[in-house]
Structure formats: structure tokens, C-alpha cells
């Protein structure tokens, strides 16, 4: 690994820092812009010469003139030039993307069901705000386990392992929940579902994040998560309020969805075993066999750690805000806005629907603006809408405000994944994104749980100022990320 130029790195992604110079010199005749079209994405890797000089260049090219503009924290990477996969090349990617999209529908339907079910869980088990909030805290255990396991799952079984283990965890969890067991067992089942979500979150985000036009495809991936999140409150609320079904009847449907997930994921990813995963890393990382210390490297190696921790904390606040809004909005509308149960449930649907539309539409806008600038722009109206939601005590105004919030925060998660894949080398993507997803999962667990604990003492109105503060922290964290070169942004 080269070290003699490590203090003079440009503010480019670590594994792409010489892309522009390579374009100018015609290295291998490759176009360095991965976003020129659906079929022309390439990643200029970091297989630099042992003296730290990029191919086709010499040390004198790396002058001190732009030293002030260079990010000195990011260490030298070690990947080779690799042609990026596309959504339709190889052809098997079409089936794999379809399976990944379905898995995210299941994940979204899982996460968005908590909010509409909370009043009924509270009544059925005779629970306080604090105790019923454990349904938010329990998935954190599963996400944490998935963060510790996902790199090993890839090394031992490849993507095939994820395609089998995650749907199986979902299926087992939903069968347990459908039996409406004692509340402590219910909490364990929610943890198992969180483990399944954590595995697919890391695996499919890392895989798609390395494709050409990753912004748009990730927008669709998370859009399908939003589809599940949109229909989930509608179905759960309708089954309970209109059809008179018990709260656990919703999980009969989830059993069917998880069964389809198991079949489609296993069929699509069966060829992607451990050897296929190791081969993909060998082609991109130039390190032969992938190392099992990737998580330690991404969390503690200077430069990589900065990116990993900023992205992780960003996702913690983002997912925490998203799930807190989706989870407590029904209770807020019923108690603070005095809305009926069905209409309150539909407000949650409006939030998730806005999220879906935002992820799909703004997924095409983001790469045109540049991901760093785009997210900054999106967060400004989000905070303004939060003030409207908080200070205007009208039910329909609140419904519109929360739906528009969903629209503008929709692209934030995919954008964070794209930035992580641009700033970190490929052999760290699964570990980094897995850890960030688990950290985000902790936000989905801890922050709504904390809101529930505060609401126990102060009332559910505390949702609004807490969410506003989270959005402000998101903006600050985003501005602290290393600047991307404009051509690669």
C-alpha cells in the first residue's frame, strides 16, 4: 500500500482520486464518469503503483498547488479498474433486482406497521407508553446482530446466504407474532424481524451502490420500501377499524409476503455463493482474498473511520426521525389533533406515500444537482414543514405537511449510501453499509422509544420539537462529510 503521497490526496473519493487525470491521459480509453448513461459506468480503482503514482502519471503531476483543497484524512485505496454492473447487465441482474425490490417491500411493510398497531397493542396487552415503545427498541437488537454477522455471511455463503437467512428470519418472526404470544415473546419476534431487515439492508444497498447510475436504482429500491410502508398502515388500519379483525391478523398477510420473499430471493441469488463474492472483491480490491477484519478497518482506520461514522450517525438521526414520525403520527393525530382512528391511520399512509414519490422522482434530480448540494436543499423545506406541522393546530394542514416532509426526506437514505460507496473502497462496502444500517436501525429503535418515554411524562406533543432538532442535526452532519469532486458528485 502506497504511503508517500497519502498527505496530498485530492478531495476525491479514495478509490477514484485519479479518475480525472486518467480521463485526460486516455488511460485504457476509459471514460471516468460512471453516470454518463445506463450502460457506461466504470469505477477507476486504486491499484496505484507501489511508489504511490497513478498509472500513466508521474509524481510531479501531484503538485502542491491544490494542497489546500485536498482531504488529507482519506488513506490510499487498493482497487483495480472495474467495469460497473448495470441494472440489466449481466441479464441475471434483472431477476436479482426484482427480488431485492420485493425484499424491501417486505421490510417497509414490517417497519410501517408499528405505528398503526401501537394503540391496539397498548390496549390488548394493557401497556403504558413506555412499555409499548419496546416494539421500537427490539428491532435494534436484530440490526446489531446483523451488523456483526453480515460480513461473515457474505464470506461464508455469499449473497445466497443473505437471500436464504433474511426471508427465513422474517417468516419465523411473523409466524410467532401471528400467534399473539405474551408481550416479551412478541418483543423477541420483532428483534428477529429486525435481524432480517438488517441483512437485506446492508447486502442489497452495497450491491446496488456499486452499479452504474446507483442514485436512480437506489431510489427505486428505497421507493419499493416506501411502497410497503404505504400499504402497510392502510391494510392494518382497515383490517382493524373496518373489518373488525384483531391486530395480529395483519401478520397472516406478512407470512405470505415473507414466503414469496424466500422463494424469489433464493431463486435469483442462488448462483451468488461465497466464491462468487470473493471473486468480485478480488477483481475490485486487488487483495486476493477478502479480509475478515473489514469492520475493524472501516471503523478505526483514519479517513475511512471519518466517513463511516459520519454516515452512520447521519442514518441514525434520519431513520430515527423517519420511524418516529411514521410510528407516532397516528397517536399524535388521535390525541393532539382529535382525529378519528381511520383518518389518523391515513395520515401515516400519506407520510409513507410522500416518501415513495420523493425517492423515485428526486432520485433522478439528485445526480443532476450533485448529491451533496441536493440533500442540503431538501433538508431546508423539511425543517420549514416541521414548523408548520408543529405550530398550525389543524388536522388537514398537518396531513399535508407530513406528506410533503416524506417527499423531501425520501432521497436521504439512498443519497447517504451513494456517498459511502463513492468515498470507500468496494471491499469495505458491505461492512460499512451494514454497520451504518445497524446504527440507523438503532435510531429507529432508540429515538421512537425515547419519544415514547418522554411522552409518558409530558404527552405525545413532544414529537414535534424533537423531530425538528433531528432534522437540524442531519443538516449539520451532512455538511461535515468530505467534499466530492464535482465530476464525481
Predicted local distance difference test score (pLDDT) of residue 451: 78
Global pTM reads 0.72
Domain 92-480 matching CATH 3.60.20.10: the answer reads no
State the Cα–Cα distance between residues 461 and 328, nearest whole angstrom. 10
Confidence at 489, pLDDT banded by 50, 70, 90: low
Indicate the average pLDDT of the chain. Answer: 79
Report the distance separating Cα 330 and Cα 402, nearest Å. Answer: 12
CA distance 74 to 307: 9
62: pLDDT strictly greater than 70: no
pLDDT for the residue 24? 43
pLDDT the model gives residue 478: 95
Rounded Cα distance between 433 and 146, Å, is 11
Phi/psi at 324 (5° precision): -65, -45
Please give the share of the chain, as a percent, with pLDDT higher than 90.
34
Domain boundaries, the chain: 6-83, 92-480
Query: Per-residue confidence at 84, pLDDT binned at 50, 70, 90?
Result: confident
Partners of 83 in beta bridges: 42
* Residue that is written with C-alpha cell 476525491 in the block: 12
Q: What is the pLDDT of residue 156?
A: 92
Q: What is the pLDDT of residue 487?
A: 53
What pLDDT is attached to residue 159? Answer: 93
The Cα–Cα gap between 447 and 137 comes to 9
Please give the pLDDT value at position 33: 39
Look-up of cell digits 449539520: 476
Cα–Cα distances in angstroms (integers) from residue 350 to residues 272, 279, 394, in the given order: 38, 44, 16
Distance CA 62, CA 52 (A): 10
pLDDT of residue 115: 76
Q: What is the pLDDT of residue 80?
A: 46
Residue 6 has pLDDT above 50, yes or no: no
Instruction: Please give the share of the chain, as a percent, with pLDDT higher than 70.
Output: 79
Predicted local confidence at residue 381, as pLDDT = 96
Instruction: Say if CB 389 and CB 484 are below 8 A apart.
Output: no
DSSP 52: S
**Coil, strand or helix at 43:** strand
Cβ atoms of 46 and 77 closer than 8 Å? yes
Residue recorded with cell 471491499: 427
pLDDT at 35: 38
Can you give the pLDDT at residue 52? 43
8 A C-beta contact, residue 233 and residue 175: no
Mean per-residue pLDDT, 141-148: 85
Q: Is the pLDDT of residue 441 over 80?
A: no
- Residue 173: which residues within 8 A CB-CB, separation 6 or more? 189, 190, 192, 193, 196
pLDDT at 219: 85
Residue labelled with grid coordinates 445506463: 38
| pLDDT band, very low/low/confident/very high, at 488 (cuts 50, 70, 90) | low
Residue 163 or 111, more confident = 163
Amino acid at each position: 500500500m502506497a504511503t508517500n503521497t497519502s498527505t496530498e490526496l485530492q478531495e476525491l473519493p479514495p478509490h477514484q482520486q485519479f479518475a480525472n487525470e486518467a480521463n485526460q491521459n486516455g488511460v485504457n480509453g476509459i471514460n471516468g464518469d460512471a453516470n454518463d448513461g445506463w450502460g457506461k459506468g466504470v469505477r477507476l480503482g486504486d491499484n496505484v503503483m507501489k511508489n504511490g503514482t497513478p498509472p500513466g502519471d508521474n509524481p510531479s503531476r501531484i503538485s502542491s498547488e491544490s494542497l489546500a483543497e485536498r482531504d488529507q484524512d482519506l488513506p490510499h485505496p487498493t482497487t483495480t479498474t472495474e467495469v460497473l454492473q448495470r441494472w440489466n447487465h449481466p441479464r441475471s441482474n434483472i431477476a436479482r433486482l426484482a427480488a431485492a425490490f420485493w425484499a424491501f417491500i417486505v421490510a417497509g411493510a414490517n417497519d410501517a406497521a408499528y405505528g398503526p398497531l401501537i394503540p391496539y397493542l397498548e390496549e390488548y396487552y394493557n401497556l403504558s407508553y413506555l412499555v409499548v415503545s419496546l416494539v421500537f427498541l427490539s428491532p435494534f437488537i436484530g440490526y446489531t446482530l446483523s451488523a456483526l454477522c453480515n460480513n461473515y455471511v457474505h464470506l461464508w455463503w455469499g449473497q445466497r446466504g443473505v437471500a436464504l437467512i433474511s426471508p427465513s428470519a422474517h417468516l419465523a418472526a411473523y409466524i410467532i407474532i401471528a400467534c399473539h404470544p405474551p408481550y416479551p415473546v412478541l418483543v423477541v419476534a420483532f428483534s428477529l424481524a429486525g435481524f432480517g431487515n438488517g441483512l437485506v439492508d446492508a447486502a442489497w444497498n452495497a450491491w446496488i451502490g456499486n452499479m452504474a447510475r446507483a442514485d436512480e436504482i437506489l431510489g427505486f429500491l428505497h421507493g419499493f420500501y416506501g411502497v410497503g410502508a404505504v400499504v402497510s398502515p392502510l391494510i392494518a388500519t382497515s383490517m382493524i377499524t373496518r373489518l373488525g379483525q384483531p391486530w395480529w391478523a395483519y401478520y397472516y398477510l406478512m407470512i405470505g409476503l415473507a414466503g414469496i420473499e424466500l422463494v424469489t430471493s433464493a431463486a435469483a441469488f442462488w448462483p451468488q455463493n461465497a466464491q462468487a463474492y470473493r471473486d468480485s472483491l478480488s477483481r475490485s480490491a486487488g487483495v486476493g482474498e477478502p479480509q475478515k477484519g473489514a469492520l475493524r478497518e472501516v471503523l478505526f482506520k483514519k479517513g475511512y473511520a471519518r466517513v463511516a461514522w459520519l454516515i452512520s450517525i447521519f442514518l441514525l438521526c434520519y431513520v430515527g426521525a423517519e420511524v418516529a414520525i411514521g410510528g407516532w403520527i397516528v397517536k399524535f393525530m388521535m390525541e393532539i389533533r382529535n382525529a378519528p382512528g381511520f383518518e389518523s391511520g391515513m395520515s401515516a399512509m400519506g407520510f409513507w406515500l410522500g416518501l415513495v414519490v420523493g425517492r423515485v422522482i428526486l432520485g433522478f434530480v439528485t445526480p443532476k444537482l450533485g448529491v451533496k448540494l441536493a440533500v442540503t436543499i431538501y433538508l431546508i423545506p423539511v425543517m420549514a414543514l416541521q414548523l408548520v406541522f408543529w405550530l398550525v393546530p389543524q388536522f388537514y394542514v398537518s396531513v399535508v405537511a407530513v406528506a410533503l416532509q416524506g417527499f423531501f426526506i425520501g432521497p436521504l437514505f439512498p443519497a447517504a449510501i451513494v456517498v459511502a460507496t463513492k468515498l470507500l473502497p468496494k471491499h469495505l462496502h458491505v461492512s460499512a453499509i451494514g454497520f451504518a444500517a445497524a446504527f440507523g436501525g438503532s435510531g429507529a429503535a432508540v429515538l421512537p422509544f425515547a419519544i415514547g418515554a418522554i411522552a409518558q411524562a409530558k404527552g405525545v406533543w413532544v414529537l414535534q420539537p424533537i423531530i425538528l432538532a433531528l432534522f437540524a442535526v442531519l443538516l449539520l452532519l451532512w455538511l461535515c462529510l468530505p467534499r466530492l469532486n464535482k465530476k464525481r458528485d
